[in-house]
Amino acid sequence: MDHDDLFDDDLLADSVRPPAPAHPRRLAPEPVAHVAGVDVLDPGTAAAPSGSGAPDGAAPVGLRERIRSSRFGTLGVLLVTAALVAGGVWFVNGQRTGAAAAAGTTVVTLPGTSTVPAPKVGAPAQDFTLSTIDGATVSLDQFKGKAVWIVFGASWCAACQAEVADIQAAHEKYGPQGLVVLAVNINEGQDAVRSYASRVGTSYLVGADDQSAIADAYRVSAIPAHFFVDRRGVLREIRQGGVSTDSIAASVSRAMAP
């Protein structure tokens, strides 16, 4: 082979040799939009900013996490929680007091230590002993054979004061027919009750339940509260709130029925 043929073959090889592969072009990352309240880490950032407290290569700690991990943040959460609980208690108590006021009653707080069964209409009324302002001691059971109207109230209760005249009138009207009115004044002593009864002019039986033990046994939650017991000692009606002439007549009639 002569030199001219060799040269021509080399040229031919160069002309058909495939081109070298081109390196792909690296595109710059697009900027990440910032959304208010959201911590965003730029994908092009390899390390946390200086002073962020995060290790190299880790995302910066968000504001919410910093608050949770701080001592002041924990205290703030506890204070907010306590405020919410207190607000809930205030709201419930306010609703209870408001409902009682609308019904013409006064909410009372009792010991809550009674172990006797709660009163139930149609069941025997729970017996109790009461010392009256006249110095006598009476019990509910001693009045079997008569209808008994138990009135829970207090001299400091406005709704209780408002119904005294109607209770006194019922005592005078139905007493000779076999009705016993037994007023139990709660959360006050005998002297205060005696003074009050003398001032308003009652002649029915009145006594002080200074420790509210009787009211507790009868689960009284607001006053005035009325319990009507028939001649056999069975509880026939429970009424909470003030009474009227008509409601008294109806309740007494049921209690005194044979």
Domain ranges for the chain, please list them. Answer: 129-256
Query: Dihedral, CA atoms, 61, 64, 69, 71, nearest 10 degrees?
Result: 130
pLDDT, greater one: 77 or 116: 116
CB-based contact 214:130 (threshold 8 Å): yes
The three-class DSSP label of residue 222 is strand
Burial (CB < 10 A; 0-12, 13-18, 19+), residue 29, is exposed
Question: CATH says 129-256 is which class?
Answer: alpha beta
Residue 258 pLDDT grade (very low, low, confident, very high; cuts 50, 70, 90): confident
Residue 105 pLDDT grade (very low, low, confident, very high; cuts 50, 70, 90): confident
Overall size of the chain counted in residues: 258
Burial (CB < 10 A; 0-12, 13-18, 19+), residue 133, is buried
pLDDT tens track for 42-89: 444 444 444 445 555 555 556 666 656 666 556 666 666 666 645 544
pLDDT tens track for 146-174: 999 999 999 999 999 999 999 999 999 99
Helix orientation angle between 245-256 and 164-174, rounded to the nearest 10 degrees: 40
pLDDT at 59: 53
Mean pLDDT of the chain: 79
Residue 230 reports pLDDT greater than 80 = yes
